Amino acid sequence: MKKTSKITASFLLFAVLSISLLVTSVQAPLPTPLSWHIETLDSDEYAGWNTAIALDSSGGPHISYYNAMNGILKYARWTDIFNLWDLETVDSTLGFADLGVRYLAVDSLGDPHMAFYNVYARKSGGAWSKQYLPDGGMYSSLALDSSDNPHISYGNGYDLKYAMWTGSAWNVETVDTAQINMYICIALDSSNNPHISYRGLDGGVKYAVRIGNAWSIESVDSTPEGISIYGGSASLALDSGDNPHISYQGSYGLRYARRSGGEWSLATVDSSSDLAIWSSIDVDSGNNPHISYSDESNARLRYARMSGGEWSIETVDAGTAGQGNSLALDSNDNPHISYYGGRTVGLKYATVWAPLATGWGVMWGKPQGYARGPAELYMIGEAEMELVITYKGEDYSKTWKIRDHYTKYAWEIFECYNPDYGFFKVKINGKTGYVQAYGTSARFTGRLVDW
């Protein structure tokens, strides 16, 4: 580190890291209450209707959403290094539209794929390309198989359709006839077999799975408690055993169904007459369901998760009902939710804060400058922290090993990418992430932004 005073290095060093979130097992329940971080990504009027969220292999969020005012389908992607969201238009010709559930997927290269109406869109090499399905589609839902080929479920009139890209053409099948009522959701199992949840015309929930060349169709919930006069969403996720989990609106609030051993178990998660018109489900590494859902009566976005067979429920955002919400869990089982914040608010995004960092120092010379000062590191358990710095081909990395105590160390680093943000890269127990610092004066706080 002797040369640091003569150069502008790559990242800002600071840290107070709480290892309680870093080294706990991914199967351990998340602490209660969760510490939610909420951002508004697009404040255009009516932006954020019908959102869909997907995570890439590094855990970075990708969001598709619709502007109901001007009929534009848009796409947002988090760029972790520069702490920015890239927003772009995918289609400006939709007009008024009701899009589907989970109509966005991200492939193994980190490129987004979308399905809307009879259109399949994919971004590759920085450009969007589009294909058209043989027949029209409504409420489309998209999943990618292990070869990144798209599988799309959608409605055509009252028929449930399924389309699979073979590599050269679309293979289209009719799954169910004269039975569907919106809110279709598709997921692929470990053998690339499609599973589809959807609403029947009676307001109940149905489920279809294709094994080999044959479709099997089941009624999931046609009880008085499970039928919704509004239709309401029916969101599907598969666990590690390929068992389906479905969240949906019932007559008296949020309902949950799980199939195991050939039998469906049904439960009411949150009982209110005006809950879960919009809901989204995902399953964590311990096969526990997590559900985001709207609370229209109380204008709040809610979140339910199961641990040890019990549900815990909390409010994510008390400022909006969270219409059009979409949920994805990252590899650490942390939730990421996209949703509509309201006409004058636009697209919103909520996630759980990664470990916080605090410290102090002085910055000058905008947008680049040096800083010096102590930083404080609190660790619980045993971990290794490595600062990774490479500047002009020379290595300025440093490693700390800490166990169950408080450590203070000195630092001199950095090049700041803009006056208000600084970053450095850390490696703890073999996992790498970027830490971001806020502030240009004596004190700053930060967080891991790509763990």
Question: HSE-up of 105 (CA within 13 Å, CB side)?
Answer: 24
Strand partners, 423: 436
pLDDT at 431 over 70: no
Instruction: Give me the percent of the chain exceeding a pLDDT of 70.
Output: 68
What's residue 267's pLDDT? 95
CA distance 278 to 321: 9
CATH topology assigned to domain 36-352? Neuraminidase (2.120.10)
pLDDT of 304: 95
Average pLDDT over residues 283-289: 96
Q: Do the Cβ atoms of 291 and 279 come closer than 8 Å?
A: yes
Amino acid 158: pLDDT: 86
Q: What mean pLDDT is predicted for residues 359-365?
A: 26
pLDDT of residue 99: 72
> Mean of the pLDDT values across residues 238-249?
97
Rg (CA), the chain: 23
Q: Where are the domains of the chain?
A: 2-22+359-448, 36-352
Place of tokens 């209660």: 32
State the Cα torsion 177-181-187-189 to the nearest 10°: -40
pLDDT for the residue numbered 395: 52
Q: What is the DSSP string of 333-385?
A: --EEEEEE--TTT-EEEEEE---EEEEE----STTS--EEEEEEEE-SSEEEE
Task: Quote the tokens at residue 330.
Answer: 């990252």
Closest CA to 321 of 303, 305, 341, 307: 341
pLDDT at residue number 246:
98
126 contact partners, CB below 8 Å, separation of at least 6: none
Q: How much is the pTM?
A: 0.74
Spatial neighbors of 322 by CB under 8 A, at least 6 apart, are 278, 292, 293, 294, 295, 300, 301, 302, 316, 337, 339, 340
Residue 426 clears pLDDT 60, i.e. is over it: no
pLDDT tens-digit series, residues 172-206 = 999 999 777 678 999 999 999 999 999 988 889 99
pLDDT digits (tens, 9 = 90+) for 41-53: 999 988 988 899 9
Residue 98: pLDDT band with limits 50, 70, 90: low
Q: What are phi and psi of 244, to 5 degrees?
A: -80, 145
Please give the mean pLDDT across all residues of the chain. 74
